Structure 1
Amino acid sequence: MAITTFRDEISRLKKGIRIAWIINFAIIWILCIAIGVVFTLSTRVSNQQLATQMLIIAAISLVISIIVMFFVSNYSTRILLEAPAGDAVHLAEGQIFNIVEEMAIAANLPKIPEVYLLRGSGVANAYACADNLGNTQVVITQELLDVLDNREELQGVIGHEIGHIVEGDSQAMTKLVALTSTTALIAGAAGRMMFWGGGRRSNDNREGGNNPLAIVIIIISFIFLIVAPLLAKVAESYMSRERESRADASSVQFTRNPTALASALLALERGSRKEDKQSLKNFNQTIGPVAFFNPMSLKMSLSTHPTTRKRIEKLREMGAQIDPDNLQI
């Protein structure tokens, strides 16, 4: 089996963030165009008038999309700070703090992230977040400590979260989650306005016949208003899967112990089967895209994480000594 270094893995996956942002910007822009079409475009226009109106709608939508992206980029980091259930206790000493400190030094971070122990979430997990000012946090749930067998496995998990911080993933994913929510809100608001009688019907009372091309454009716009949130979710899931693989590779870089991380993933996979389904669902809805491990979306096309099996197979390529029989999960 060929060995893949963490540098190879990171280089291959760096394109994921850029691609996801481009896709989401395109979705926002097209969504704004669709709203403009549905609410302003008349079916009784000439082809020349149609072309002029579409250019105006596209230009205005582009400006709106840039503004939306700007505000999401600068004000979205609050989401992860207040999202999960449970009682977060700030740690300034102890084993968890020491491991975070070790991994931060190994990653050459300029300062040690704040460390929190989350009690009462009902889920064995961890996540990291960061804001535009460089403030970072690593959050470990009490249930995670109960599931892992040793310090090396905890190092692997924390190394993974530090990897997110180093590569800017924590900040980027917070923004992407907010952007996905914004897309859903915009599409939902447009749908409610149409339901309550808004729209472009008053513009169609002028003389002249209907332009078939205008009708087709309006129908396509209606369809896009419905599917836009789903498309944004696909982009979010794609980016999340890419970043999880990259953070696994970073953890291997910091710990030099791919076996420990693979063992931690196996422990979480098996432990999640005993956890309360409602707690898992609640955690998934708030922290799922940025969590270390997301058992609620395994084997789904919109999964925010690669399957545990795929993650462990990647770690085996980087040298993890895991019995293949353990991959029957």
Structure 2
Amino acid sequence: MAKRTDFRSEIKRLEQGIRVAWFINFAIIWVLVIAIGVVFGLSTRVSNAQLAQEMLVFAGIGLVVALIIMAVVSGSAERILLSAPAGDAVEVTNGQLKNIVEEMAIAAALEQQPRVYILRGSGVCNAYASADSKGNSMVVVTEELLDLLNTREELEGVIAHEIGHIKTGDSQAMTKLVALTSTTAIIGSMASRMLFFGGGRRNSDSNNSNGTNPIAIVIIVLSYIFLIAAPFLSKIAESYMSRERESRADASAVEFTRNPTGIAQALIALENGADHYGSKSEAKNFGETIGPVAFYNPSFAGLDLSSHPSTKKRVAALKAMGAQVDDSSL
């Protein structure tokens, strides 16, 4: 018999993954700024001593710029998730959905009750949550999801998952990471355009009597490569963090409901029935705007860059925590 996973130890393990993803993104921005300095400012005709000195300068400048970017993103990114995707969000003040959100918020010991919305006209079966640094939060459930789920325990599992994001600060963290990834892509794109249109990088090369330094050439070539690869590497870190937080929220849902079967059944229902609602374009638009923070995101970007673990993996993890479901249809 497989050993059952304790959800508290699972959450602790995944918290380490969140920190790793943040560190990776910080390192990417730092190296990206260094690469820009090298491409536009490093001569191929420098001595090894001059090369070492210039690289130290680039590293220092890159560190300061990376810290500034991180600070700006951390201070302004919280507002991004507070805007809803396409559809008409109607606040709910009573009824079963409101009661379930209140119950799960109490189970999670939230200081403030989240606002509850039903999103109509989205064309997708899904749910998501957002929160700000002041403790204000909201849970949004699409009308199509309410139609798809068959039991209260399935809806409780979905809501508990979203409450888990609020409880652990995942919504804020992911918003910041998405903003950080976008910033990396913008910086890389701007640098690439400058290179394409010609930056006049090394006008001093022809005036320098020193011979060409092969180490400098290697560093410059690697910097060119990194300018192209940086947005892709940042996306990998973003996807890694998103998958980690989804697994963590699943574990939180088990903690709040004491029922891993409910959320597992909801995932199976979504995997088998979500395509019956809306259109592919509506699902794509929702995935591009809310996908990384939604309960369910079936789209895959290739090369394992999906924002969520596969449903099969999520259900398998829930079965390891005690879920009793038939997942043969996955």
2:242 equivalent in structure 1: 240
The answer as to 2:121 corresponding to 1:123 is: no
Partner of 1:84: 85
In the TM superposition, 1:123-162 aligns within 5 A as 123-162=124-163
2: CA distance, partners of 1:193 / 1:202: 16
Q: Distance in 2 between matches of 1:262 and 1:134?
A: 29
Distance 1:83 1:217 in 2: 44
Which 4+ runs in 1 deviate beyond 3 A?
none
**Uncovered stretches (5+) of structure 2, i.e. residues with no partner:** none
- In structure 2, C-alpha distance between the alignment counterparts of 1:298 and 1:197, rounded to whole Å: 32
2:180: which partner in 1? 179
- Counterparts of residues 44-63 of structure 1 (less than 5 Å): 44-63=45-64
In the TM superposition, 1:153-302 aligns within 5 A as 153-208=154-209, 209-275=211-277, 276-297=279-300, 300-302=303-305
Q: Secondary structure at the match of 1:201?
A: coil
Secondary structure of 1:140's aligned partner? strand
How many residue pairs align between the two structures? 327
State the SS of the aligned residue for 2:238.
helix
1:193 to 1:299, Cα distance in 2 relative to 1, 3 A? closer
How many angstroms does 1:173 deviate by? 0.5
TM-score by length of 2: 0.96
Partners of 1:17 and 1:211 in 2: CA distance:
41
Offset of residue 5 of structure 1 = 2.0
Instruction: Determine helix, strand or coil for the equivalent of 1:77.
Output: helix
SS for the counterpart of 2:178 is helix
- Aligned residue in 2 for 1:114: 115
Distance of 1:127 and 1:301 partners within structure 2: 22
* CA contact 1:252–1:258 (8 Å) conserved in 2: yes
Structure 2 counterparts to residues 311-326 of structure 1, below 5 A: 311-323=314-326, 326=327
Aligned sequence identity (%) = 64
User: Aligned in 2, Cα 1:321/1:298: closer, same or farther, shift over 3 Å?
Assistant: farther
RMSD: 1.4
**Which residue in 1 is equivalent to 2:308?**
305
C-alpha displacement of 1:202: 2.1
- TM-superposed deviation, 1:74: 1.0
The 8 Å contact of residues 74 and 132 in structure 1, kept in 2 or not, is answered as: no
Paired residues of 2:271 and 2:311 also in contact (CA < 8 A):
yes
CA distance in 1, matches of 2:225, 2:205: 20
Query: What displacement does 1:300 show?
Result: 4.9
SS where residue 4 of structure 1 aligns?
coil
Partners of 1:176 and 1:277 lie apart in 2 by 26
* Contact 2:78/2:176, CA 8 A, preserved across alignment: yes
SS of match in other structure, 2:51: helix
**How far apart are the structure 2 equivalents of 1:186 and 1:224?**
12
Within 5 Å, give how 1:1-40 maps onto structure 2.
Answer: 1-40=2-41
Partner Cα separation in structure 1 for residue 302 and residue 258 of structure 2: 29
Q: How far has the Cα of 1:299 moved from its partner?
A: 7.8
Q: What residue ranges of structure 1 are gaps of 5+ in the alignment?
A: none
CA contact (8 A) 2:42 2:202 kept: no
**Aligned-partner Cα distance in 2 for 1:285–1:28:** 23
